[in-house]
């Protein structure tokens, strides 16, 4: 491995976990315990032979070194800007201390597991065991139940407490699935029917000459197309190359299938030069991409059609990660009981070549994800950033509230048993190592989207990162004194970071055209323009952008159009207001591709 320019050394970091491995298994002590989350009720016990995959997370003693690398190589003012790490270098930096590996191995061997039954991530920071739930109860000194979500009917096999031998507490950060009750949802608007059928002959925006930003086709006020976005964001005169190294990917979950026939109909209408091209499909954990028109997914179709339509001919990849099917009490087959984010990121981290821009339009209420688990997933995203990948997530559609579409009736209470009224931030958008994308609507001027409300606010888990401290502090200090006191974390990571159009997108679904909205549209659209920026950097013989935020909050600010109108109501409040500069509704604003291209192709 090449010498890394840091003041930290691997030896010093390893010594922090130099704990002797005991010769015998110590008594069990509770490792984690939670109160039953709101909205979930016990509905039975799983069959003893119901199979689950336990994920055991070992500490990453050198993560602070990786984080330092990430910020250096993502800072356009640093001499190492763009000097991304290799897969092997990242794995070396997140590898557990040998004592942790030995302690966990001894525990599992003593519990009767053979070496071939124990699977590990490439860096050995995760141990995976697929075992009957009865065996999981034995080794975790716990009891699993079937828990049913009263509003949706979804069911999970979970526990509210588990234990580990006391000597392992310093060698194991977390074990899941145990206390993880998150319900990953697509971030498309639930306020209206997600697909509104239209006449196939509905007028679409026409391309306007480059440099005439004020002359965006008026039809873009009612229907958003690829042409509208390129006009609005000053990209009509840019043509990508199919010979550079730029690439883009879309994640799919929950049995959302991206239909190729619909993509061809979309291309014929909005991107005829892309006709007869498609995307690379990759299955994760057995994920499918069924091509029957009736099984086409609105979310998946929206994401691939606009991300790939904007970035064409940049090659695209669509991942389908097997979801969490509803638990059926009498089933004896293996169910995917893990949170799919980590399944996906584990798979991607194991690959040598990864698309350089990846958009995800799914998320959970932050409080439904145990903090230790959220931090580990977020740390995995940092690993991708260190390898030169730009990760974008939609910010959510319910303003400052929970998943209830009506902001006046949202139940915004904490899940910690105190039932305190709080705004509900959205994970993974709250992770400081990703770029969160909010929603706008209309043209000349753009405003914060109002048919649903752009998710935004402040994390309760992650502190404000250095790259946005000045912007967040300026916004909070300008709020009326005492406004929303106690409802949000003033020291939290603010989101979203940026915004893009988020409503009235014209897609094709099951053979028909129609409209759809949500920040699930904003993120793939923004990702398409990032893929074009990478294309421009490659043409200039530069490296990919990688983790975007340090650039966006510094030199990149000049490449955004500030949004000055709107808010994101929720929890019975008006929510946060849009204001000059960064705000927790539309972030820094919407992209001006022409200006951003000039900024990112300068030699830093």
The catalytic site residues sit at 299, 303, 520
CA atoms within 13 A on the CB side of 72: 15
Given a contact cutoff of 8 angstroms between Cβ atoms, the answer to whether 253 and 362 are in contact is yes
What secondary structure does DSSP assign to 4-50, as a single string? P--S--HHHHHGGG--PPPSSPPPEEEEEE-PPPTTEEEEE---TT-
Residues contacting 267, CB < 8 A, separation 6+: 274, 275, 277, 309
Q: What are 326's two structure tokens?
A: 């509803």
Nearest to 187 by CA among 426, 397, 416, 438: 397
Beta bridge partners of 132: 51
- Residue 242 to residue 246: CA distance in whole angstroms: 8
User: Has 497 been labeled as part of a binding site?
Assistant: no
As to burial, measured by CB atoms within 10 angstroms (0-12 exposed, 13-18 middle, 19+ buried), residue 601 is middle
Nearest to 208 by CA among 222, 192, 225: 225
User: Has 581 been labeled as part of a binding site?
Assistant: yes
- Residue 360 to residue 393: CA distance in whole angstroms: 5
Given a contact cutoff of 8 angstroms between Cβ atoms, the answer to whether 517 and 396 are in contact is no
The continuous run of DSSP H or E covering 270 comes out as helix 260-270
Q: Which ranges of 511-569 does DSSP label H, i.e. alpha helix?
A: 519-539, 549-552
Q: Which ranges of 540-584 does DSSP label H, i.e. alpha helix?
A: 549-552
Per the annotation, binding residues are: 562-563, 581, 583
Per the annotation, binding residues for Ca(2+) are: 562-563, 581, 583
């Amino acid at each position: 491995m090449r010498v890394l320019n840091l003041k930290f050394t691997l030896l010093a970091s390893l010594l922090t976990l130099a704990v002797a491995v005991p010769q015998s298994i110590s008594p069990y002590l509770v490792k984690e315990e939670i109160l039953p989350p709101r909205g979930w009720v016990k509905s039975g016990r799983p069959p003893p032979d119901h199979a689950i995959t336990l994920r055991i997370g070992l500490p990453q003693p050198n993560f602070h070194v990786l984080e330092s690398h990430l910020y250096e190589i993502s800072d356009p003012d640093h001499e190492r800007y763009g000097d991304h790490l290799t897969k092997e270098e990242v794995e070396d930096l997140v590898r557990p201390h040998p004592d942790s590996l030995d302690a966990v191995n001894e525990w599992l061997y003593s519990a009767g597991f053979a070496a071939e039954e124990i699977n590990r991530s490439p860096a050995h920071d995760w141990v995976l065991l697929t075992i009957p739930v009865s065996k999981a109860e034995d080794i975790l000194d716990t009891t699993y139940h079937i828990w049913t979500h009263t509003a949706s009917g979804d069911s999970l096999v979970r526990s509210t407490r588990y234990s580990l031998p006391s000597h392992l507490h310093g060698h194991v950060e977390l074990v899941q699935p145990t206390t993880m009750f998150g319900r990953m949802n697509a971030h498309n608007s639930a306020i209206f029917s997600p697909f509104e059928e239209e006449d196939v002959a509905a007028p679409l925006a026409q391309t306007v000459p480059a440099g005439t930003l004020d002359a965006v086709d008026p039809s873009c006020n009612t229907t958003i197309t690829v042409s509208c976005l390129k006009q609005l964001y000053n990209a009509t005169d840019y043509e990508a190359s199919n010979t550079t190294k730029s690439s883009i990917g879309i994640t799919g979950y929950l049995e959302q299938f991206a239909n190729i026939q619909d993509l061809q109909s979309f291309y014929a209408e909005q991107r005829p030069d892309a006709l007869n091209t498609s995307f690379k499909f990759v299955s994760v954990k057995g994920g499918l991409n069924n091509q029957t028109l009736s099984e086409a997914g609105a979310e998946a179709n929206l994401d691939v059609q606009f991300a790939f339509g904007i970035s064409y001919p940049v090659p695209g990849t669509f991942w389908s990660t097997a979801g969490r099917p509803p638990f059926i009490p009498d089933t004896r087959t293996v169910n995917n009981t893990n949170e799919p984010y980590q399944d996906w990121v584990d798979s991607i981290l194991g690959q040598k070549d990864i698309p350089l821009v990846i958009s995800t339009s799914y998320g959970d209420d932050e409080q439904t994800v145990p903090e230790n688990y959220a931090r580990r997933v977020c740390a995995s995203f940092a690993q991708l950033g260190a390898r030169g990948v730009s990760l974008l997530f939609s910010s959510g559609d319910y303003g400052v509230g929970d998943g209830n579409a009506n902001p006046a009736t949202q139940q915004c209470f904490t899940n910690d048993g105190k039932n305190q009224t709080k705004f509900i931030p959205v994970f993974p958008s709250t992770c400081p190592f990703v770029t969160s994308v909010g929603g706008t609507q209309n043209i000349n001027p753009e405003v914060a989207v109002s048919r649903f409300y752009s998710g935004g606010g402040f994390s309760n888990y992650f502190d404000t990162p250095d790259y946005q401290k000045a912007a967040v502090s300026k916004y909070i200090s300008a709020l009326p004194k005492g406004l929303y006191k106690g409802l949000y974390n003033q020291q939290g990571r603010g989101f979203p970071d940026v915004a893009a159009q988020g409503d009235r997108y014209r897609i094709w679904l099951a053979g028909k055209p129609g409209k759809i909205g949500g920040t699930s549209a904003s993120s793939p659209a923004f990702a398409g323009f990032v893929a074009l920026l990478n294309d421009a950097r490659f043409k200039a013989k530069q490296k990919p952008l990688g983790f975007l935020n340090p650039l966006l909050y510094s030199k990149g600010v000049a490449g955004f159009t500030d949004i000055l109108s709107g808010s994101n109501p929720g929890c019975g409040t008006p929510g946060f207001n849009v204001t000059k500069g960064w705000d927790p509704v539309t972030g820094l604003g919407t992209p001006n591709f022409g200006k951003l291209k000039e900024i990112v192709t300068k030699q830093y």
